[in-house]
Structure 1
Amino acid sequence: MPALQFPCTVFKTRKWMDDYHASDMLCGDLSESQLKEHFHLVDVSTRANPYTLTKITPFSQPQSMFHGSRGEGEKITRQQCAAILFDEFRDLSRTFAIYSPYQPLIKQMITHMQKASGTQFRHMLLDRALKDHILNDNSPGNSTRLLLEKVFNTKIDWENKCYPISEKEELRGAIMDGKLPKFDRVQDNFNGMGITVHDTWATHITIKSLQIDNDRFRAVVHYKVQDHFGLDSDDISKFKFSQFRFFRIWFVLQRYNQFGFKPFMTNMETTIEITGARK
């Protein structure tokens, strides 16, 4: 019986890696009138008005009882306005990253958006978060790690010490039956991963090697995951996003045609071991 050869990619999402045509990768494509009329983005910042390029003071805030009594705030350049908005963007991110080792990521990613012109982003903390997620998911029905372990246990040809190529689809099916690692758990609302990644765009899972000795096996499995640090029109149209000034500033910095700061790809990957014994 022919054996499956490794490394072997057993799963790819329908969405592909490096998809720069995705709707959340748009930037600088909306006018002031579109932002205000279609997305109701009038009250964007507490520090600067991106449309009039003026600083906002306590007297110039719309909700102030003194609004209009002392005229507009100080005029600033577009670059100065963007810098003020990014500072506020970073300050507001603290609400979503209260604790955990991943807390610094969101501020670094905001700064990457400000300064890196859309280049892809990698960080060891992202790789660590992905690995922790996979290893700590012990749900028999969701964990791709446990589901793959089950397939190895039942489909390995123990007599010939190989994995039959005819059973390759069983590996893909196991992953399809589970839940890909995403940062949409309750703890991700506070540890910084929900705001930096949350859902994911594309995932590739590759079995790099499979070693079979006597009645035991050891598989080395590589996960490669990509997300987009960007907002699309559907995101900001949802109340759960638009209610937060954090997302309103983000959307304006990315999509307003006077700013157009580029979103970027967030890359993470990790390698795990799956071991088991013949049953």
Structure 2
Amino acid sequence: MSALQFPCTIFKSQNRMDDNSARDMRYGDLSASQLKTRYGLNYISDRVDPWTLTRRSALDNPRSMFCCNGRPAGAKITRQQCTAILFDEFRQLSREFSLYGPYCHLIEKMITHMQHGGGTPFRDGALDQALKQHIRNDKSEDNSTRILLAKTFEERINWDNKYYPVDQKNELCKAILRGRLPKFDRFQDSFNGMGITVHDTWATHITIKSLSVANNRYRALVHYKIQDHFGLDDEDITKGKFLAFNFFRIWFVLQRCNLFGFRPFMTNIEATIEITGHRNGY
């Protein structure tokens, strides 16, 4: 019997990394007519009408008692001006979903990256920290991949020879499959900024970077690499809760309309977690 060699990747999600063919990575593929007729996106913004390139006033808001009073259209603007106004409103509306906490600034930063980044991947240390804290703070015996891996190390390490057997590698993958991969869909994520920036995730890789065994103790370094897509697909915008908010209507139009066509992007998040334990739990 031989020892498993490290680093060793023990889990890869079915969805692959860097998948530009995913539905939420499409951009500039829909006409104004399609957006209005197929998705009901006639009214997008309280500040501007992107279909006629005219400014609005507060009285133009269809939720206002003063709506639809036959007033003439507002001042004409250029497409560049319209784009700038939409992105400013996009950022302003994002604050409704990111009220406070160490990650509340991220959504505006990511919107600006969509505006100017040209589809390049996005990284931020705050996202990495959020992932690390999420994994560390998950105390669920049934769902925490960290806890399930710890139990597997304890049970499967060859303690007498001080290594992890190569023929037990699959048990590490099973431990991940029994748990729940880190996602930012908890209650607190609905207002701390992580739910609107990441929420669910697209792809996950988990790699054991190192494992040392000595004195009936082990220490493992486990690396989580997670990728999400900052983009919307058709299913997103047809959900009532999304379609009801100008925030998502603006996002969808800026991304998918061929008049704008701003590219979605990959959000890359990584964290290395230390897992330690003892032989027989002592």
Q: Which residue of 1 aligns with 2:25?
A: 25
C-alpha displacement at 1:57, in angstroms?
A: 1.8
Equivalent position amino acid for 2:37 in 1: E
Give the whole-Å Cα distance in 2 for the aligned partners of 1:102 and 1:65: 38
Structure 2 gaps of 5+ residues are none
Equivalent position amino acid for 1:50 in 2: P
Q: Which residue of 1 aligns with 2:143?
A: 142
Give the whole-Å Cα distance in 2 for the aligned partners of 1:208 and 1:66: 60
1:36 equivalenced with 2:39 (yes/no): no
Equivalent position amino acid for 1:87 in 2: D
1:223 equivalenced with 2:224 (yes/no): yes
Task: Look up the SS of the partner of 2:222 in the other structure.
Answer: strand
Runs of 4+ in 1 over 3 A off after TM superposition: 58-70
Q: Contact 1:211–1:218 at 8 Å: present in 2 too? A: yes
Q: Which residue of 1 aligns with 2:127?
A: 126
C-alpha displacement at 1:2, in angstroms?
A: 1.0
C-alpha displacement at 1:67, in angstroms?
A: 3.7
Q: Contact 1:45–1:249 at 8 Å: present in 2 too? A: yes
Q: Contact 2:141–2:148 at 8 Å: present in 1 too? A: yes
Q: Contact 1:183–1:198 at 8 Å: present in 2 too? A: yes
C-alpha displacement at 1:65, in angstroms?
A: 3.3
Task: Look up the SS of the partner of 1:117 in the other structure.
Answer: coil
Give the whole-Å Cα distance in 1 for the aligned partners of 2:179 and 2:101: 26
Q: Which residue of 2 aligns with 1:57?
A: 57
Q: Contact 2:47–2:58 at 8 Å: present in 1 too? A: no
Equivalent position amino acid for 1:35 in 2: L
Task: Look up the SS of the partner of 2:196 in the other structure.
Answer: helix
Q: Which residue of 2 aligns with 1:16?
A: 16
Q: Which residue of 2 aligns with 1:46?
A: 46
Give the whole-Å Cα distance in 2 for the aligned partners of 1:263 and 1:10: 29
1:249 equivalenced with 2:250 (yes/no): yes
> Over aligned residues, Cα RMSD in angstroms?
1.1
How many residue pairs match? The answer is 279
Task: Look up the SS of the partner of 2:43 in the other structure.
Answer: coil
Structure 1, residues 136-179: CA drift from partner, whole Å, max 9, x if none?
A: 00000010000000000000000111100110000000000000
Give the whole-Å Cα distance in 1 for the aligned partners of 2:249 and 2:13: 30
Q: Which residue of 1 aligns with 2:159?
A: 158
Task: Look up the SS of the partner of 2:155 in the other structure.
Answer: helix
Give the whole-Å Cα distance in 2 for the aligned partners of 1:39 and 1:2: 58
Give the whole-Å Cα distance in 2 for the aligned partners of 1:12 and 1:104: 30
Q: Structure 2 length as normaliser, TM-score?
A: 0.97
C-alpha displacement at 1:68, in angstroms?
A: 5.3
Equivalent position amino acid for 2:112 in 1: T
Q: Which residue of 1 aligns with 2:270?
A: 269
Q: Which residue of 1 aligns with 2:235?
A: 234
Task: Look up the SS of the partner of 2:266 in the other structure.
Answer: strand
